[in-house]
Every structure is written in structure tokens, then in C-alpha cells.
Structure 1
Amino acid sequence: MTKFTNFFTENKIEIKNKKVLLAASGGPDSVALLHMLVNFLPDPSEQLIVAHLDHCLRSDSYLESELLKKLAVTFDIKLVEKKWPNELHPQTGIEAKAREYRYTFLKDVGKKYQIDYLMTAHHGDDLIENILLKFIRSGDAAEMNSLQIVGRLGSMQLLRPLIKYSKVELLNYDKQNNLSFIEDETNFEDDTLRNRLRHHVVPLLKQETDHLVDNAYRFSKEMDLLSDCQNSLFESIMMPVDFKNWLRGQIKDLKKLSDNQLPAFFDYLIYKKWHRHVHFTEIYLNQSATYNKDGFQLIFYQNYYYVINKSKLPGIDHNRKLIKLDEEFCINGKKYLISLYKKSQKQVGYFYGKKMGLLEVGNLSQGDKLKLANGKQTKAKKKFAENGIPLILRPYCLTIWQDKEPVYVENVYQNQEYNSDFARYNVYVYS
């Protein structure tokens, strides 16, 4: 168990007085990990809980439950089980939905029992397969390193202490300790890319070197280090303002990034906000440029840059509506409230106008006019341009009218006329 105990030392993981949740399937890997934990933890009966989700995808899946119940009794540990009902199984994308349901189950158990560490039985061969699988599908370095050795799931720290073990080593461990396990017969089929890599490609690679698991582990650790260095650089840059479906930052804040670093920075922003990897190419700082990639739009306009998730942009409601003060209303996917008083919501602006119980709200057309302080008028599109609002986002700027005159345009304009009888209207948005 030297590799196992070294995992905790190398990663500075404190075990004493910590609660551990083991995600177990009843397979050879999770049974081996269960046995190791029982022999490693100071007080396994108090510290260790086993969680098992029966996905109900095989007719013999009940055998895993029966085995885990026997092991729980043998080792005097708590077992928490749940089934994924057949009526919740989707027609397509069942693997992704199964993963989502499993993680939700594990998060719920972790929260209920105040778990410190969630452990899974992923091993070195799983790491190799993940690297190859993601290399084939995307070539994205971050995705190739997505099987994190130490990570997080909800409130728990996620640990994979078997990551330096090969599959053969774990099978030998089970044999030496007379441990029973259940083999998933679908693992022996060639119907998935992962299985084809497992059965045909990985064995060939292992013939070329005895250090394939070690090399995969080294790759993962070095990618973690490179990712940390890159993130440290990006986090030193002023982060853009979050407008829910888009981000806005200042172009001057990007001056320290090279042309090669710019695409990686925007990939970082998009992943941090929307958990999507999008690889823009050949991005250059410019006060008038637009880039499109995988449903996202990157716009450099005036002194600002915008990152827009076009799939999340709500439909535009071109009809004006009357709203009451202090009553929330929704327009173009955002929820607002207008009041003469201070509120706890986020304030996005204010304007002075006549005291009225009803206000007209909507969005401004490009050709509409706005009154200036000198009494003259200017076209709305000029004010939008002056404030760096690109064309695609202009309909999403809340406009408020009094007596058919625009008195407020979000992030763009507020009434320029002064009158001592005017009231101050505060505009709030719900995040």
C-alpha cells in the first residue's frame, strides 16, 4: 500500500478526524479502495461511508448492491444506496445524464453527512484512457487533463488515491486479499471508443514502455502546474463586468497579454463563466473587430471588449409596457425594479423626472432621439457608440419614458433637464 499512503503524504491530505465518502460500484477497483481505506483510516467505522448508485442499466446490477451490503457488514461501515429510476433514463445522452444524476447523489450524501473527502477508484489506466480519449475528440489540453487527481465536488474535496496504480495491480491486490467483486460485462464490449482504447490501444502502448502509468501521472501533474501559472497571469488582469449573458471589460486591461495569450485568456473567461471551452484563433487587440466561435461572439468596440454567449441571449420584446413603482418587472430576460427609495437590489442607474406612479419601459430604436442639456437632440445610436455599446446589445439596454420622451437608457443616458420639482428614480436589477 506504499503508493496509496504516499498519495496522502505527497498531496498533504490530513486524514485524522476527517469524514470520507467512497463512491463505490462493487467493481474490482472500488473494492480494492474500500479495503485499503478500512486498513488505513484510524477509525473506519466512524470516518468512512460508502455511497452506491444503482443506475439500473443492467439486469444484474442488483448483484453489486448485494456485494456492497456484505462488505459493509464485514467492515462495520455505513452504506448509502439509491437507484436511478428507469423512467428518468433519457433516450439519448444517457452517459452524461447518468454522470449528472450520480454527482447530484454524491453531493447530497456529502452535504447530509458533512463529508470532508469524496474518494473515487479511478486508477492509472483510467487516466491514460482519458488523455487519449480527449486527445482524439478535441486535442484540448485542459480536457485531456480533466480527470483531476485532487479536485472538488460541491463542499467536498475530491481525491483519487489509486491514480498511480495500474488495473493489473488492483486486480492482483484483490486476489492477494481474497476480495470478491462484480465485473461489469459491458466493459468487455467494443461498442464505445473508451473500450476500444482500453482493449486495443493501451495494451500496445504498454508494450512500448513499462512506465505508461507513471508518464500519464507526470503529464497530469505538469499540466496542473502550467494551468496554475496561466491562471495566475489571467487573474492578475482586471476581470470584466458580468452582465449575466455577456461580459464587458476594457481593452487597455489586456495590453500585457501577447497575441498567443489572448485566445487562451478568452477561453479562460468563457470556461470560468459558462464551463465551455472555446478556442478563438488569431485575435488582435483592435477598437473595431468581431470574432465568432461555437456560439460565442467576441467584440472589440470603442474602448471595450465584449464576450457574448449568443445562445443565452433572450428574445427581444419590442413592445413597450407600463409598470408601477416598487413592483418588479421583466423585460428582455432581465428583472428590474424602479423606486424612489433605497433598495437592497443591485442599482444599475438613476434619473430625475416628473413624479409619476406609472412609467413606460421598453427598448430604444436606433433612430430615436435623446434630448441633451442644451435642449438640442442627438440620435440614440450616437450615444450608444459613445458609451461603447455594440449593435447586438443595444436592444437589451432598458429604456424608460415619461410623456413619450426617453428619460433613461441603461448604461447610456439619463434625463438632462433640471427641475427642482423632479424626483430621483433609482433603477435596480435582480442578479
Structure 2
Amino acid sequence: MKGRLSNKFNLVIRDYELTPKTTVVVGVSTGVDSMVLLTLLENLPRSKRPQIVIAHVNHKLRKQSEEEQAFIEAYAKEHHLKLEIEVWPVAKHPKTGIENAARKVRYNFFTRIAKQTGARFLFTAHHADDQAETFLLKLVRGGSLQQLKGIGARQLTEQTQIQRPLLNFSKIQIREFATLNHVKWYEDQTNADQNLARNRMRQEIVPRLKQENPQLLAHIQSYENQLQILMRATRQHAQELVQQLIEKDGFKTTLFLKFSLEWQDLVLQEIATKKLGAGQLTDAQRYEILQLLHNKQKPTGNIQISHQLVFMKNYQQFGFYLANELQKKSLETPDSMLKLNQWHEISGYGKVGVFEADELPQNLLDTSQVMKLSENQIEEPFSVEKSSPDENLRLKAGGHKVVRRVLMDAKVPIAQRESWPVLVDANHQPIWLLGIRKSWLKEPFDDQQKPYFIIWKTNNLEELN
């Protein structure tokens, strides 16, 4: 096999650890790139040559499509290679977006053949010029940095990986090899269509850039490799930070705000990517979310992201939620009885306990957390229940205030008002709408009697007493 390209190709292909027992699917269009790739694979040393399955799609887009199909059928028969063909009928061609539709048909076909044959790799003939064109087109069109990447390896199925063995070779090198080795190919007539952005990039822009610097392709490949390494490392750390933030039904606001502004932005993008998909959160939405998270004067708030999705900040928790489930979202507060001198956990809210003076936990005597009672004021046992919107809290002046109004004044989200925890006595009289407002007790405090302390320690809610 003549030419330096074959020697370099053999070095590249060595990394794939191919053997005669390895099955590979090769996407062959009959253009010069795929025919050269097929030729190079066929001429590997016997110990490295895999089982080759040619996958050809007749897109019915050119007059010569039938001739190309007949050629590859004859070629496969002559070279004793397995061939799979997919025909895309003209009747199924869309009126617009033909390129994207053709690509979808092609890769659906490749996926099916890879699964049928148990292929370890799908090889396609993308080369260095394709890499430059893809990178520059994405740069021109704009979008998120995560989308600014060229053509690389990726998984096609659980067992099949897409690889591009010609990425380090230019179109010129490939054509020179084909000419020198008498490789027959068909020229794609659509490559001359100036209505296609990729063709304009290929025929006008990339050649001019090569004139400015003959090393253009190598430099773009180098930048693409460096960028991918940086983005993989950045995303890996962002994912680790996200794991630190996860709690039931959302993410921890306080911890999030301890990150640097740069990592806040990246972590938010990672959370949004998991929920919405890459690039779906706009710059304006991201800015609005960060503003809300930093706004201490607004402990709760919603931002409509799409018709179905809402971002919600709920005191010390935030996240993306389906709009039709948002009203259903509430933290359940099971009715339960408190035991003296023990903490009682309330999932998602915090913990509460009734303590005797000599059993009092240390460093918790903050007036917003403690309610001191004398023995004459206590009707044991105390229990935690879901508050009822129509319950009344006793006021100091002797009147009452309905729980619904207290929760509204405290700006508690509507979805949580029916499940907010309230501490009640043995007669089910409200003692403390936990974390929000204490009820004025009927019996006055008697400092001659044994004191008890009700302590509320918030978890992810803001103290509003």
C-alpha cells in the first residue's frame, strides 16, 4: 500500500486494539473519504484486520444514487465483505431540513446494524477538514460553550462506540492517497451546492484561512482537544459540587451561595442541563435565577422557564419543577407525639424538642428558637401536626389570628400552607406555628414553677418570628 498515510493510519488504528474477532461497521457513502477508510481497513495486517460490515444508505437524493448502490454491492461481493443497505424512499423526504433528516435516517440505520452484528465500533470517514468546518460553523452560529466542540468519539449503543480514524488527516492527503492507490470513488454532486452553509465554509472560508496559516487544521484540532479537556474537568468538578447540594426535593441554597460566583454559574448550568438538556436554559434565564438566589429580601420566588417547567426558590431550597406538579409539592408533616428531652425530626423543616432545664441542649438559647413555659402552662403530651388554615393563634391582646393569614403574611408558598407544622398540646390547642409565630398562652408564666423549654432548630427554613 503506497503512501505515508497508510503508515500513519496503522499507528492510529493500533489504539483500537482490533483483532480478527473484532466486528466493525463502516459507514460507506462511496465518496473518496469513506472508500479510502474502507481500503485502509482492508489492508491492515492480518492480525489486526477486523470483521468488516459495510453500511451504505441510498438517500435517493442524486441521480447517481442507484449507480453508487450498484457499485458498492459489486465491491462488497468482489472483496468478500458483508454489506447492509438502507434505502430512503423519496416519498419520505421532508420538504425542509433534508440534511438533518438524512443524518437521522443514517444513524438510526447504523444503530440497528451495530446491534444486529454486535459491532464494537462504528467507523466513519470524517477527517481534519470536516473537523475544522464543524468547529467554525458552531463558532459562527453561537450557543453555549458546551456545544462548541468538533467531531469526536461517542457511544452509539451500549456496546458500540463511534470512532473517526481519519480525523488527523486532511482532505488533500486522503485524495492523494486515493489517486496514488487507484481507489475508485464517486463525487457527491451536492458538495457544489452553495446554498448549504457547510459547502460555503468548505469551498470559500476554510481555504482562505489555510492561506493565512497552512497549519490551520492542526491548530483547530489542538484547540478542540484542549477545550474538551478543560470542559470535561470543569463539568466533573461541577457535578461533584451538585452532589453536595442535593437534598430531598431540591438543592441547598445556603451552601450554593458559598461557592464563588463562577462556580455558582457553572453549577446552575449543570443542574439545568440534567433537568432541561444541554443549552436549553437561556443566558437571560440564568441571570434571573442567580439574581433571585442572591436576593435576601425575597426568600421565595418562581421563574417560568418553559410552558412545563418552573424554577422555584423556597427559602433555603431551590430547584426546577414541573409546573403541573408544583401545586402538589408540599413537605409532609406526619402527626407525631414528642418525648420529653428528645429531639423530634420534621423532614424538610427542622427539629423540635421539649426539654427540662437540666437537660437543655447547649448553644441553642436564641429567642427566635426557644419558648419558655412554666409547669402550669403545659398540657402534655405535645404533638406535631399539619396546621389547619382555619386554626387560630391566640394574640397577646386577647384576640386571635387565623393560621392562613399568618402564613400569608410570612410569604409561605401556597403549595406548603396546608402542611406547615404546628406544635399543639394535649387538647390540640396550637402552641407554636413552628418557625413562624408562637401562640399567646392562656395561663401566665409562673417563675415559681418548674420551667420547660420548647426549642425549635430550623433545617432549611428561615426563622420568621
Please give the TM-score of this superposition, normalised by the length of structure 2: 0.64
Letter in 2 for 1:304: Q
Q: Quick check: 1:15–1:41 contact (8 Å CA) kept in 2?
A: no
1:305 aligns with 2:318: yes
Give the superposition deviation at 1:131. Answer: 1.0
* 1:163-182 to 2 correspondences below 5 Å: 163-182=167-186
- For the residues of structure 2 that align with 1:48 and 1:60, how far apart are their CA atoms? 25
Q: For this pair of structures, how many residues does the alignment match?
A: 348
- For the residues of structure 1 that align with 2:12 and 2:425, how far apart are their CA atoms? 69
Query: 1:111-140 CA distances to partner (integer Å, 9 max, x unpaired)?
Result: 111111111111111111111111111153
1:103 aligns with 2:103: no
1:41 and 1:69, CA in 2 relative to 1: closer, same or farther beyond 3 A?
A: farther
1:5 aligns with 2:7: no
Letter in 2 for 1:14: E
Query: 1:203-257 CA distances to partner (integer Å, 9 max, x unpaired)?
Result: 00010112111111101210111011111211212447799xxx83222442453
3-state DSSP of counterpart to 1:25: coil
Q: Quick check: 1:45–1:76 contact (8 Å CA) kept in 2?
A: no
Please give the TM-score of this superposition, normalised by the length of structure 1: 0.69
* Largest Rg, 1 or 2: 2
Q: Quick check: 2:57–2:86 contact (8 Å CA) kept in 1?
A: yes
* 1:201-220 to 2 correspondences below 5 Å: 201-220=205-224
Query: 1:35-67 CA distances to partner (integer Å, 9 max, x unpaired)?
Result: 111112646886211111222222322222122
- For the residues of structure 2 that align with 1:373 and 1:292, how far apart are their CA atoms? 28
User: Which has the larger displacement, 114-123 or 250-259?
Assistant: 250-259
Give the superposition deviation at 1:413. Answer: 8.3
Letter in 2 for 1:121: A
Q: Quick check: 1:67–1:181 contact (8 Å CA) kept in 2?
A: no
Q: Quick check: 1:49–1:79 contact (8 Å CA) kept in 2?
A: yes
1:256 and 1:214, CA in 2 relative to 1: closer, same or farther beyond 3 A?
A: farther
- For the residues of structure 2 that align with 1:256 and 1:191, how far apart are their CA atoms? 51
Q: Quick check: 1:21–1:110 contact (8 Å CA) kept in 2?
A: yes
Q: Quick check: 2:30–2:185 contact (8 Å CA) kept in 1?
A: yes
1:72 and 1:351, CA in 2 relative to 1: closer, same or farther beyond 3 A?
A: farther
- For the residues of structure 1 that align with 2:247 and 2:179, how far apart are their CA atoms? 55
**In structure 2, what is the equivalent of residue 232 of structure 1?**
236
Q: Quick check: 1:44–1:77 contact (8 Å CA) kept in 2?
A: no
Give the superposition deviation at 1:299. Answer: 3.7
**In structure 1, what is the equivalent of residue 17 of structure 2?**
14
Consecutive unaligned residues of structure 1, counting only runs of 5 or more, are: 319-331, 335-347, 353-369, 400-405, 419-431
Q: 1:259 aligns with which of 258, 261, 278?
A: 261
**In structure 1, what is the equivalent of residue 162 of structure 2?**
158
Q: Quick check: 1:290–1:299 contact (8 Å CA) kept in 2?
A: yes
- For the residues of structure 2 that align with 1:73 and 1:118, how far apart are their CA atoms? 21
- For the residues of structure 1 that align with 2:209 and 2:407, how far apart are their CA atoms? 63
Query: 1:266-318 CA distances to partner (integer Å, 9 max, x unpaired)?
Result: 33333344433134354354244666668765443311122357xxx5699x9
1:183 and 1:297, CA in 2 relative to 1: closer, same or farther beyond 3 A?
A: farther
- For the residues of structure 2 that align with 1:417 and 1:187, how far apart are their CA atoms? 81
**In structure 1, what is the equivalent of residue 130 of structure 2?**
126
Query: 1:130-152 CA distances to partner (integer Å, 9 max, x unpaired)?
Result: 1111111115332220422x221
1:74 and 1:417, CA in 2 relative to 1: closer, same or farther beyond 3 A?
A: farther
Letter in 2 for 1:154: T
3-state DSSP of counterpart to 1:300: strand
Letter in 2 for 1:231: R
Q: Quick check: 1:238–1:253 contact (8 Å CA) kept in 2?
A: no
**In structure 2, what is the equivalent of residue 270 of structure 1?**
272
Give the superposition deviation at 1:199. Answer: 0.9
**In structure 2, what is the equivalent of residue 379 of structure 1?**
404
